[in-house]
Amino acid sequence: MGTRLPLRGGFERGPAVTLTLDGRPVTAYEGESVATALFAEGHVATRRTRTGEPRGVFCGMGVCFDCLVVVDGVPNTRACVTWVSEGMDVRRQDGFGPLREDG
Ligand code: FES
C-alpha cells in the first residue's frame, strides 16, 4: 500500500495493478496517476534536468511539465495526468531519457 492515506467517507480504491518503477515492481491502484504511485513509493522528484536539478509535481494538472517521466519507453510523459495500468513501465527521467542506474 506504500504511504497512501487511508480512505474515508465511502471511497474505495480501484483494483490493484502491478507496474515497474525504475525496474522494481510496485503496486498501484486503477484510477491513480503515475505521480500518485511515485509519491506512494517515496519519490517526490520525478526527474532531473539536463543540469542535474531535481523536479517533481508542481501544478498537478498537466500544465507545467515539471513531472516528466519515461512511460513504456516514451520520455516526457506527464506523471500527473497519466493513469497507471497493469504492466506499465515507469522510469524517472534524467534529462531527456531514463534515470541512470546509479541515479
Ligand atoms: S505537475 Fe505540472 S504538468 Fe505535471
- Nearest atom in ligand 1 to the alpha carbon of residue 78 is 4
In a domain, 3, yes or no: no
- The answer to whether residue 24 sits within a structural domain is yes
Q: What is the CATH number of the domain that holds 61?
A: 3.10.20.440
- 60 within a domain of the structure (yes/no): yes
Q: Answer whether residue 61 is part of any domain.
A: yes
The CB of 96 under 6 Å from ligand 1? The reply is no
Determine contact, residues 70/98, Cβ cutoff 8 Å: yes
- Structural domain span for residue 34: 16-97
pLDDT of residue 103: 53
What pLDDT score was predicted for residue 96?
81
Alpha-carbon distance of 6 to 3, in angstroms, equals: 9
Residue 77 confidence (pLDDT): 97
**Which stretches within the chain are classed as H helix?**
34-40
**Cα(67) to centroid(ligand 1), Å:** 5
Ligand 1 pocket test: which of 66, 71, 77, 93 has the largest number of ligand atoms within 8 Å of its C-beta?
66
pLDDT in tens, the chain (103 residues): 568 888 999 999 999 999 999 999 999 999 999 999 999 999 999 999 999 999 999 999 999 999 999 999 999 999 999 999 999 999 999 988 777 665 5
Determine the Cα–Cα distance for residues 65 and 102; give it in Å rounded to an integer: 24
* Tally of domains within the chain: 1
CA atoms within 13 A on the CB side of 23: 6
Domain assignment present for 52: yes
Q: What is the pLDDT of residue 1?
A: 56
> Looking at the domain assignment, is residue 87 inside a domain?
yes
Measured in Å, residue 55 CA sits from the centre of ligand 1 at 10
Instruction: Tell me whether residue 69 is in a domain.
Output: yes
Please report whether residue 56 resides in a domain: yes
Instruction: Give the separation between CA 47 and CA 30, rounded to whole angstroms.
Output: 23
Quick check: CB of 76 below 6 Å from ligand 1?
Answer: no
Q: Is the CB of 66 under 6 A from ligand 1?
A: yes
pLDDT given for residue 100 in this prediction:
66
